[in-house]
Structure 1
Amino acid sequence: MAFEIFKQQFGDLTEYVVQESTTGNRFVVVPELGGVVRQLSLRKGLTLFSVLKTPPTPETLKHDTESASELLFPFASRIPEGKYRFLGKDYQLAKNEKNGLNAIHGLVRKQHFHLEEQLAHADHASIKLSYLIDAPEGYPFQVLFSIRYTLHSDGRFVVSFEALNEGSEPCPAMFGWHPYFRLGNEDVEAWKIIIPSDQIVTFDSNQIPTGVAHFHIDKPALLHRKVFDNCFIVKSNGPFATTELMSENQDVTLSVTQETGEGKFNHLVVYTPPERDCIAIEALTANVDSFNTGDGLYILPGGGMFKGEIVVKLT
């Protein structure tokens, strides 16, 4: 196995490519645009699958409003009207959703990340990026957020995050990753999915949680004519839970495995966009609007660390 890391231009953006020469497995990351993974290619047999759908040009990537492959920190999904209360104090975040109603998807999207480290070994290669959240509007805390992307010789792609509270006061935190997955040229109708949950979060008309309901679906379930824009409470019998996306026609399964347990990824969003050519499988460390409800919210103490990982693989 031979791993290499090099940088190249994508329009006026600089991106880093990590690849393994024998298999062709590779990922491409853009530090200056929120540290997004722009491309992830993984091999199954004779076929190299490009498994992420992201905007195809530098300009469309810059102006993407669908959060393709974006890192969501210190909150994911919506906070109604951008308002939350934490430890007896009220805070107002910028209302950055398209309709101007809510705060959505955190404070690190499209920010310029710093390249901390790039490592190439015989059996894996990785890139580590970081961004300092320095008391922006509505979040008066200093948190060093970092992300490490690692490609292993067995085909595993690992997303590992860390958040270090550099202040002395506690702060609220949650993390989510927002990838849109695809399998070859098929659309959603042809795929099956296994969702590791039997509880679904109920939403109001503003996509804010109102409670929890029982959820039952075949395992695996055919996605034909099924529409998802839902958050689930993950069910796990161990330290991990896996969502599986399957194409029987192509004899390939994409697995998204998330750490579970205290302070880990105990929630999951599944979303089928109207185009029906991809599906979002988003591991979350807390429920939607956890800044207000506390449901899964991580209280990051002064000087404390918050971390977890997600693993993507083809079989």
Structure 2
Amino acid sequence: MSFEIIEQQFGELTELVIQESTTGNRCVIIPELGGIVRQLSLRKGITLFSLLKTPPTPDSLLADTKSASELLFPFASRIPDGKYKFLGKEYQLVKNETGNLNAIHGLVRKQSFNIEEQDIQADRASVKLSYSINNPEGYPFAVDFSVLYTLHADGRFVLTYEAINQGNEPAPAMFGWHPYFVLGNEQADAWKINIPSDEIVDFDNNQIPVGRKPFLVEKPTKIYQKAFDNCFVVNAASDSVTTELISENQDITLRIKQETGEGKFNYLVVYTPPARDCVAIEPLTANVDSFNSGEGLNILAHGKSISGSITLTLV
């Protein structure tokens, strides 16, 4: 196996590419645009599959409002009206969702990340990026956030995040990743999905949780004629769960494994966009609006950290 990390231009953006020459497996990362993964390609047999749908040009990527592949921290999904109460104090975040109804998807999107580390080993290569949150509007806390992307020789792609509270006050923290997945040139209606949950979050008209109800479907279930825009409580009896996106026509399955357990990824959002050409599968460490409900919310004391990993494989 022969790994390399190269730097290349994508319009005015600078990308880092981790690639392995034998298989062609590669990921393309943009540090200055929220540290996102713009491309991820993994091989099965003779075919190299591109697995992420992101805007195709630098300008469209910069203008993207759909959060393609974005890192969502210190909160993911919506906070209604941008208001939350934490440890007895009330806070007002910037209402940045389209229509200005809610705060959505955190404070590190589109921010310029620092490159902390580039590491090449015989069996893997990795890039570590970081961004420091320092008392922005509505979130008066100091938290260092980092993400480590690793491509392994056996075809695994691993995203590992870490957050450390550098301030003196306890800080609320939630993390999620927002990739849109594709499998070849097929439409999503050709696929099946295996969601590791028996419980779905019940939303109001503003996509804010109001309770839970059983999730009773065949597993795996056909995506055909189903419209997902839901949050699930995953089955966290073990230390991880795996969502499967399955193309029987192409004989491939994309596995998205998320760590579970205390402080880990115990929630999952699945979304089928109207174009039906991809599926968003978003591991979350807390429920939607956890800054208000506290469901799954991590509270970081001074100097304390939280971390977790998401692993992708193609079989």
Structure 2 match to 1:168: 168
Question: Shift in Å at residue 16 of structure 1?
Answer: 0.3
Q: Matches of 1:144 and 1:237 in 2, distance apart? A: 30
Q: Matches of 1:219 and 1:139 in 2, distance apart? A: 40
Listed as ranges, the matches of 1:26-105 within 5 Å are 26-105=26-105
Structure 2 match to 1:300: 300
Q: Matches of 1:6 and 1:48 in 2, distance apart? A: 19
Structure 2 match to 1:249: 249
Q: Matches of 2:280 and 2:206 in 1, distance apart? A: 19
Question: Shift in Å at residue 168 of structure 1?
Answer: 1.4
Q: Unaligned regions of 5+ residues in structure 1, if any?
A: none
TM-score by structure 1 length? Answer: 1.00
> Which secondary structure does the structure 1 equivalent of 2:224 belong to?
coil
Structure 2 match to 1:204: 204
Q: Matches of 2:13 and 2:74 in 1, distance apart? A: 25
Structure 1 match to 2:143: 143
> Which secondary structure does the structure 2 equivalent of 1:136 belong to?
coil
Question: Shift in Å at residue 236 of structure 1?
Answer: 3.0
Aligned CA RMSD, in angstroms, stands at 0.4
Q: Matches of 1:49 and 1:308 in 2, distance apart? A: 26
Q: Matches of 2:36 and 2:277 in 1, distance apart? A: 20
Structure 2 match to 1:2: 2
Q: Matches of 1:86 and 1:184 in 2, distance apart? A: 44
Q: Matches of 1:6 and 1:106 in 2, distance apart? A: 29
Alpha-carbon displacement from aligned partner over 1:206-228 (angstroms, at most 9, x marks no partner): 00000000011111111111110
Tell me whether 1:177 sits opposite 2:172 in the alignment.
Answer: no
Tell me whether 1:117 sits opposite 2:117 in the alignment.
Answer: yes
Q: Matches of 1:248 and 1:236 in 2, distance apart? A: 27
Q: Matches of 1:221 and 1:23 in 2, distance apart? A: 31
Percent identity over the alignment is 69
Question: Shift in Å at residue 105 of structure 1?
Answer: 0.1
Structure 1 match to 2:277: 277
Structure 1 match to 2:191: 191
Question: Shift in Å at residue 73 of structure 1?
Answer: 0.1
How many residues are aligned here?
315
Kindly report structure 1 stretches of 4+ aligned residues shifted beyond 3 Å: none
Question: Shift in Å at residue 286 of structure 1?
Answer: 0.1
Q: Matches of 1:246 and 1:304 in 2, distance apart? A: 39
> Which secondary structure does the structure 2 equivalent of 1:53 belong to?
coil
> Which secondary structure does the structure 2 equivalent of 1:291 belong to?
helix
Match of 2:215, as an amino acid? F
Question: Shift in Å at residue 237 of structure 1?
Answer: 3.0
Question: Shift in Å at residue 31 of structure 1?
Answer: 0.3
Question: Shift in Å at residue 251 of structure 1?
Answer: 0.3
Match of 1:212, as an amino acid? R
Structure 2 match to 1:229: 229
Match of 2:187, as an amino acid? D
Q: Matches of 1:86 and 1:204 in 2, distance apart? A: 22
Match of 1:239, as an amino acid? D
Q: Matches of 2:218 and 2:228 in 1, distance apart? A: 15
Alpha-carbon displacement from aligned partner over 1:109-164 (angstroms, at most 9, x marks no partner): 00000000000110000000000001000000010000000000000000000001
TM-score by structure 2 length? Answer: 1.00
Q: Matches of 1:183 and 1:125 in 2, distance apart? A: 24
> Which secondary structure does the structure 2 equivalent of 1:205 belong to?
coil
Q: Matches of 2:16 and 2:306 in 1, distance apart? A: 26
Q: Matches of 1:252 and 1:261 in 2, distance apart? A: 29
